[in-house]
Structure formats: structure tokens, C-alpha cells
Structure 1
Amino acid sequence: MCARHIYGNIRKLHPNKPQLKKLFWSIVESPNEADYKARDPRLVAGLTFLLHHVVEDALNNNSESYNRTLEKARAMPLVEMLETMRRLAMKRIDLRKKIVKDYKGKFSLKVTKMIAFETKYRKNCKSIPGPTGEFEVSEDGIRYAVDMRAKTCSCRRWDLTGIPCRHALRVVLDQKKRYKTDNLVSDWYLTSKWQHQYSDSIKPVRGIKFWIPSGESTIQAPPREISKGHKKKPQQRMKGVNKSPKKGKKVTGHNRVMHCSRCGSTEHSCTNCSNDGVPCKPRPPKKQKTTTSHDEVAVDPGEGPSQT
């Protein structure tokens, strides 16, 4: 279930509570049981994820993005809808195939970004070697057990994502001769896996012109209803409390020439004008809207109620 949809339902029941959003997402992002209970164990969190899935995403943005692409196809008849979905999938696979072909790294971009992010915080950690392949790593007074052979850590970030956490990276830094970061990343992030995923595509289908006639009666599609009036815009998602609304364009003073209200010079303003005795020119009055009184409105003699 998508965590964003859960938060949307909770926000309907408890509106105008900006702290609820921060609390909710801190619980969702809790990777281990200790952090989970320290916040509020009444909501869904990363603790409920299965470890062999190697994913920590609590949202379904991928499916929602694809559903938005199929928004027009859903309004079509069944066969035309399926054909449109097939062609969209073929284009999507071909686009991803070109991106993967030009990528030269050993792992995906997500691995590179996460390792770079966790590397910034490994300097705050200290490791103590234990039995073979096991280490005790401390960070901010909290100790974690790291098993380099099983590729696990007490923080469970390595277990959930398949990417070494800051505690495992600290062990790699202290034990450079024994461990390498590339050997600790899950194989599901390899570029070869990524390329294999988009190596094949959907086979093309011949058009109706080349179909073998069956001799049966032809089924005609029902006529489409022409909608009247203006086209309705798709409903946009409501912005959260902490998100800024759309702002209009600011009025700038570009290409605007200022004049002194005393002498009319463009080199200075009236506050810096040397003509102290000259009074400032009065500003022109603002234009007022002209309204016609009720008595001045001419009435056509033919109008009005008829006489009996």
C-alpha cells in the first residue's frame, strides 16, 4: 500500500496539523525496530518490508506515473485501448534501452548517489573488529553489529536496500585490504541486469489490412460522444501544507527610467536634488471609474410593463 495515500486519508481525518506530516514520514522511513518504536509504532514503517525484495520504497510512484500515461487510452474501446497500451510500452522500452546503452558504470545511478551520501557520514563512525567478518560500529553513542559475510547491519538499511550503509562503509575504510565497496552491493543493481531487463521488447503486430478474414460479420465500434463545452483540465494534486503555492511573476524595474519630481532630471531622485527650494511636482490624480447613476439611464419608452 502506498504511504502517500495513507497519509492523505489521515490528513482528511485530522486537518490543519502540519506536525502530523513530519511525524508520519519519520515513522515510514524508520528502518529498524528501535527507531520505529521510538517514534510511534501505530503506523506503517520500513520495518514491515521483506528483506529479500531489496527495495525500501514506500510509494507506488512508478505505477501512478504509468497510469497517468494511459489516461487517454482508458477512454477508448477495448481493442483500441489494448493496442494503444502496447505501442506506448514499446516506446517506453526503446527509450530505456537507449539510456542503458549509453551508461558505462558498473552499477546503477541510485547506487552511486546512495554510496556518496552515506560516505559523508561514515567519518562519524568507529569500528571494532570481532569474530571473522563481524564488526561493532559505533555512531553518536549507538552501537551497531555489522556482518560483512551476510551483508547485514543492525540499522537494517543495508538489508533493505542491498547497498552498504555508512557503518559497512566504515568497515571498508578501516579494512581496505579485505573488503571493497563494489563487492558488497547487491547484484540486482548491476548494469548488466539493467541492460538485460530492456534487451527484449514486444513484437510488432500487423495492421487490420493484413488480417485473414474469418467470414463472420464485422463488429462496428459504437460512435463516440462529442463532449460539449470547454475541455476539462485534469485534476491536479492538492499541495501540502509545507509546499509553496504557485507565485505570479514579479514586477521588476528593468528598462524603467526614474525622474526627479522637482527638476525632472533622470540622474537623481527628489531626495538628492540640489534645488531644495523648489517644491515637488504634485502627482497626477488616479483615474476614477465613471459610474452612471440610476437617474441618468435613458429608458426606451417601449420598454417597461404594458398598460392595462
Structure 2
Amino acid sequence: MDELKDLDSEAHKWFDDKPVAQWSWSHFKVYPKCNMLLNNVCESFNSAILDAREQPIFSMLESIKQYLMKRLQAYRDMTACKWKNLRFFPNALKLLERNVRRVSDCIPIKSDNTYYEICCFDGRQHAINLRERTCTCRKWQLSGIPCKHAISNQREEIQDYVNEYYSVETYIKVYAPAIMAFTSEMFWEVTGFNPPKPLTQMRLVGRPTLSRRRERDEPMRKTRKKAETLMLKKNQMTVRCRGCGNSGHNVRKCPKTVENR
């Protein structure tokens, strides 16, 4: 933060009223097993139901229900067909493999069968606890996947230290509940209750807003014109004439070629 203050005092001041747990890895909670600051699940779901939001209430709920039914079943089919021989799903294995490639700059020093001291080429030292599955860099606790410091001392199966949150078995349990199908309105049981009446609220003037409500300090999305003004200009190569050898024109517009014509 001191380095940020020297670089940009306004940016440093912007963090004054922001809780540290919302933007710093050092204060993130470790039980979610997620080291990401932003979660785009709600954004993805909101974009998927844009068309359904424009429909009447019953049609909207029916569209969302069918979308979720198809999506959940697609995940179950993918698990049964593609991941049946895997212990962990592929994204977790990619993250683990990426950490394996970074082990070369770590030198482990064994304290006992549980504790290790890891010396890095940048001068930092980290402490590893295999029983608690912790590292002082906190990446292992935050993500649930062993960091490069934890992998550097392993002489056994590395996947044994990956959190069970990433296992295919857990994935199957998450998507096991299914949304049950039901019939259309013509098959519903007739009751003696009065049907619901439509809303008395009048429709507001103008087009309804489709964009979500943004926070007061959230930057607005740039329009196409504004984005073009902020883009860097293309660095074009200097055109050189093959006839006279001068720059600034090609052989078709060369003065000597024009005179000869």
C-alpha cells in the first residue's frame, strides 16, 4: 500500500472506506476454497435469462425452469461421459499442473513428516503444514489446490492434497438434484378459489431498462465511440516506393511513373 501511495495517492485514498476482506488475499476467508475476487455466476445467469425477463410472469418462470433443467442435465451427462475415469474435474487438474511447472524455484527443507521450510530464489521463505494443508502464502488455503511451495516437497501422489471440493464425486452430488417436470395449465386441478387478478399498476412511460443497476462507484461501460477514442492508433509500416526508393508513396503513385505515362 505504501508503494501504491507513492505511485498514485488518489488510488490509495480510494481504498480507505473499503473493507480489506473485500479486496486483499491476506484477509479473504478460506472456507469457500475460492481465491477469486469477482464471481461472475450471477452475471452469466442474468445474461442467459434476458429474453425470459421480457415475457409475462408464468411464461418467464417456465422459460427459466426449462433452461435450468437442460443445463443441470447437461452437467450430469458430461460427468457421466467425459469424467467417469477422473478423480478431479479438468479445470482443477489444469491449475494443479500449472503449479507443478513453477516448482523449479523452490528448495524444500524438511523439519519432520509434517512441517517443511521452503526457500525460494526471490529470497522468501514459507512454512508448510501437511497435516493442516496450509502454507504461509495462503494460496493453498484459499483455493484448496496445493501451491508450488507445497508441491516442491512431495514424493507421493500430489492429487491426495487437493481439496475434495474439486472431486468428480462432489460435482455429481452438487448436480444430483433435478427439477421435476410438470404439466401445462390444461391439466391442472380445478379449485374453487378465485383466479388472481392482474396488477393495477400502470406501465411507465418509455422503454423498460434492461441493464442491471450499477453501484455508485462502479465505472460505466464505454460506448463504441468513446472506446475508439481511447484505443491506441495502429502502428503502420512506412510505405516505400520500389521505383525511386523514396518513402511516402508506392510505385503506382510515383512521380516518375506518372511522368512516363
Q: Same fold (TM over 0.5)?
A: yes
Q: Which residue of 24, 43, 62 maps to 1:64? A: 43
Partner amino acid for 1:238? R
Q: CA deviation at 1:102?
A: 2.4
CA distance in 2, matches of 1:42, 1:151: 22
Q: Which residue of 204, 207, 210 maps to 2:184? A: 207
Q: CA deviation at 1:183?
A: 0.6
Query: What is aligned with 2:102?
Result: 121
Secondary structure at 1:73 match in 2 = helix
Q: CA deviation at 1:235?
A: 5.7
1:186 matched to 2:169: no
Output the TM-score relative to the length of structure 1: 0.58
Query: What is aligned with 1:161?
Result: 143
CA distance in 2, matches of 1:44, 1:112: 26
Partner amino acid for 1:186? N
- Aligned alpha-carbon RMSD (Å): 4.0
Query: What is aligned with 2:53?
Result: 74
Q: CA deviation at 1:76?
A: 3.7
CA distance in 2, matches of 1:271, 1:209: 77
Structure 2 unpaired stretches of 5+ = 1-7, 213-219, 235-242, 244-250
CA distance in 1, matches of 2:183, 2:257: 90
The structure that has the greater radius of gyration is 1
CA distance in 1, matches of 2:23, 2:257: 75
Q: CA deviation at 1:125?
A: 0.5
Secondary structure at 1:128 match in 2 = strand
Secondary structure at 2:80 match in 1 = helix
Higher relative contact order (CA 8 A, sep 6+): 2
Q: CA deviation at 1:71?
A: 2.7
Q: CA deviation at 1:227?
A: 11
Q: CA deviation at 1:131?
A: 2.5
Query: What is aligned with 1:148?
Result: 130
CA distance in 2, matches of 1:125, 1:56: 22
Q: 1:1-308 maps to which residues of 2 (within 5 A)?
A: 44-104=23-83, 105-139=86-120, 140-172=122-154, 176=155, 179-219=156-196, 221=198, 238=221, 279-281=259-261
Partner amino acid for 1:280? N
How many residue pairs get aligned? The number is 220
Partner amino acid for 1:118? N
CA distance in 2, matches of 1:103, 1:145: 38
Q: CA deviation at 1:50?
A: 1.7
Contact 2:22 2:28 in 1 (8 A): no
Q: CA deviation at 1:222?
A: 6.8
Partner amino acid for 2:53? R
Q: CA deviation at 1:20?
A: 5.4
CA distance in 2, matches of 1:277, 1:88: 66
Flag the 1:43–1:207 CA change in 2: closer, same or farther, 3 A: closer
Contact 2:134 2:141 in 1 (8 A): yes
Flag the 1:20–1:102 CA change in 2: closer, same or farther, 3 A: farther
CA distance in 2, matches of 1:277, 1:207: 79
Q: CA deviation at 1:81?
A: 3.0
CA distance in 1, matches of 2:253, 2:56: 73
Partner amino acid for 2:185? I
1:49-77 per-residue CA deviation (whole Å, 9 max, x = no partner) reads 22222111211201111122223333444
Contact 1:239 1:245 in 2 (8 A): no
